[in-house]
Amino acid sequence: MNYVFDVIVLVFLFALYGFIHSVVASEKVKVYFKKIFGKLIAFYRLLYNVFALAGLYFIWELAPHPSLQIYKLPPPYDYLVLIPQFISLVGMLWCFKYICFKEFVGLNQVDRYLRNEYSDKDLDENYTLRIEGPYKYSRHPIYFFSIIFLMFRAEMSLFYLTMFISFTAYFYIGSYYEEKKMVRLFGDDYRSYQKKVPRIFPYKILH
């Protein structure tokens, strides 16, 4: 029974984290921040990422850790999980070949602000429509490769399984709101992209 309670608390904490994370990522909050602080919105993306990592650390350290072991792969099978994990890391690097990592993290925005080159029209990031490389097969390939990396484990506990399911659910929910923003920015071009390319899992490769 303790395991059930621990899982409920863990899911609640992660859902609360996801809700706050999504609200802070919304355009309404960013616009409100810009009205108050002006071009200091350039620091928003970097601070957002710092607080996101801090929130995950808070959950990891303070949430219940139901220790029920679901499986443990014996040698040498425990090393086999390294193969899909390595492939997923290569996939991540592939994704960042088509996006600017420093813009993604928030460092470029701060650099533009310090050089007095931050546009009044910008919020926290310069958005571009990417349909090259991994984006030809998945609209959110970073989420896809993250799921693959997290999925394969040599040892699975109830805590980790709950976190994995929570992360995957958040990726799907988060991508829905991200795409609403992209439709506002790019209109029919993005709607056409949605029709041609799967959201996360690139199942059309097999067709």
| Cβ contact 41:123 at 8 Å | yes
What predicted TM-score, i.e. pTM, was given to this entire model?
Answer: 0.89
What is the Cα–Cα distance from 137 to 153, expressed in whole angstroms? 25
Q: Say whether 41 sits in a helix, a strand or coil.
A: helix
Residue 76 DSSP one-character state: T
Amino acid 1: pLDDT = 57
Q: What angle do CA 123, 125, 131 make, to 5 degrees?
A: 135
The torsion angles phi and psi of 162, rounded to 5 degrees, stand at -65, -45
Amino acid 206: pLDDT = 58
Contacts 24+ apart (CB under 8 A), 31-40: 31/123, 34/123, 39/113, 39/118, 39/120, 40/113
What is the Cα–Cα distance from 143 to 4, expressed in whole angstroms? 28
Q: How far apart are the first and last CA of the chain?
A: 45
Handedness of CA 179, 97, 131, 134 (dihedral sign): negative
Q: Identify the burial level of 76 via C-beta atoms within 10 angstroms of its C-beta, where 0-12 means exposed, 13-18 middle and 19 or more buried.
A: exposed
Q: What is the pLDDT along the chain (207 residues), one digit of tens a residue?
A: 588 999 999 999 999 998 998 888 888 898 899 989 888 999 999 999 999 999 989 888 888 998 899 999 998 888 999 999 999 999 999 999 998 888 889 999 999 999 988 876 777 777 888 899 999 999 999 999 999 999 999 999 999 999 999 999 999 998 998 898 899 889 999 999 999 999 999 987 655
What is the Cα–Cα distance from 199 to 115, expressed in whole angstroms? 37
Which residues form the domain of 24?
A: 2-206
| Count of domains forming the chain | 1
